[in-house]
Every structure is written in C-alpha cells, then in structure tokens.
Chain A
Amino acid sequence: MSAVNAGQLERGSTSTVEAPIQEKETRGEEELDVPWQVVVHNDPVNLMTYVTMVFQRVFGYPREKAERHMLEVHQKGRSILWSGVREPAEFYVQQLHGYLLLATLEKVV
C-alpha cells in the first residue's frame, strides 16, 4: 500500500492510475485443453475402508461408486477417478496426497 503525499493533496495534483499488472499465462492454451486424468494406484498399507472414505470426501461420490473405484485400485492396481482440465485435476491429486494416497496426474492419450 502506498502512502498519499500530503503535498500532492494540497496542490490538487492528479495522477494517472497505473494499469494493474497482469500475470503472464505460463501455460499454453493447447496444454490447458488437453484432458487430464486423476489416477489412484494400489498401496498395500492404506486400508480399504479409508480409501473409500477418501474417494467419497474428495470427489463427493456415493459410497457404492467410491467402493467400486477402491476395489478397482485393489484388484487392478489403478483406477481413473476423474478426468477433465488440468487445474481441478491438480487440485484433486493434491487433496489425495493430503490423505496419503498414491495418486498421479496423467495426460489422456
């Protein structure tokens, strides 16, 4: 925050309002358009009930759907939990890591 100069006020000077700084978009449009998927990988330590609870909380899935994904992870080694644009996919992976699940972000090929 900048302080207003009293002298400026007295003189009634005008100042030009600086245009807000715009951050440069570092990701190309093409990159943002590529669909990404959130993949959860099997882990022999995490409890099945815990993994189900995490899927319900993070993705808002009903219990049956969360259990289906949990079983897919357990039996096939991985399950695609979500796919879409990159930012929410990153956010989901971050949440899953917060719950200590093995999760990755993958480009849909």
Chain B
Amino acid sequence: MEICRQDDALQISDLDPFLAELLRQIPESTNPDGAPAAEARLFSQPSAEKKIRAEWKSYVEPELRRLFRSATETVADDLTQLNGNEKSLSNCILHIPIAHADAWLNTLNQARLVIAAKYKFSDEELNDHDRSPIGSRRDLGLFQVNFYGFLQEFILREISG
C-alpha cells in the first residue's frame, strides 16, 4: 500500500485485498450497537452533576449523533471507490478529498474508540505496535486500531502542513 498527497486529495494506492477490506470496514466499525462500553465512550458524560447530564442527553447528544453520522456517511461515500472486483484492487486508487479530511479523522476515531471499547484493550496492548501475527478476532481488532491510527497520523500530517 502506498499513501501520498496528490493535489487536493490524499491518495491510497497498491491496496492488497486485506487492507482494502479493513478500509471498507471503517463505517461499520463505528457502530457501538450491542456494546454499552463503546456507546458510553462515544457519548461520554460531560459532568458529575445530574442536571447537566440530563440536559446534555436531551440537547447535545442528538447533535453529536448527527455530527458522527454525517462524518461516517462522507467516508462511506468515499469508500464506494473500492467496490468491485477484488482482483482489480492492486490497480485501485482511493482518493480522499482534502475537504473530507475532518470527516475521515472523526470517523477513524469513532472506529478506533468503538473497537478498543468492545475488546477492552489495555494501555499496554494499545502501545504495542509490533504485535503480530493476527491469530484471533481480538488481534485483528488491535491491528485495525493501529492501522486506522496510521491513517489518522498521515491525514493529520498532510492537513497541518
């Protein structure tokens, strides 16, 4: 896989089917359904005070849900470039418009937080970037968190000049 800046877009090329599949899984990975810890992490408490928490749930949380959903939809639209024949992926290029960079950062962050909460990764696991090979669904989850983090780092570097 190669990743570079091309004019007003970030370009990911030479994708192997495995990494392409991980990219395709980004939107789905943001879904916290069935994992209360993930839901609690995405919509964390703003205060220890009950009154503030109740107001937050009524007025702010719906706004946050809209924001997260909109970002995820933008990413899902960009990822439709990867739809098609697996064998053609080596020639497939994913263009991410710079204007979508914030949506990608947000969605990758949602996905990383949800996966980390679902598998209850420890600090040590999250900081072990050399862990390999992938032997279980949990290992794959950790790989996803690291891979999505790598993409975030690249996007951050490009948008902050």
Contacts and interface: CB of A to CB of B under 8 A. Distances in A.
Interface string A65-109: 000000000000000000000000010011001111011111000
Interface stretch (A1-9, A10-18, A42-50): A42-50
Interface string B41-55: 011111110001000
B109 A50 contact: yes
Nearest to A41: B44
A103 B52 CA distance: 13
Provide the main secondary structure of the chain A interface. Answer: mixed
Contacts of B116: 44-45
Contacts of A46: 109, 113
A103 B157 CA distance: 24
Interface string B88-118: 0000000000000000011001101100100
B152 A104 contact: no
Contacts of A106: 47-48
25 contacts: A44-B116, A44-B121, A45-B109, A46-B113, A47-B152, A47-B153, A49-B157, A50-B109, A50-B152, A50-B156, A53-B160, A93-B46, A94-B46, A94-B63, A97-B60, A97-B64, A98-B106, A99-B106, A99-B109, A100-B42, A103-B46, A104-B45, A104-B46, A104-B47, A105-B47
Interface of B: 42-48, 52, 60, 63-64, 67, 105-106, 109-110, 112-113, 116, 121, 123, 126-127, 145, 149, 152-153, 156-157, 160
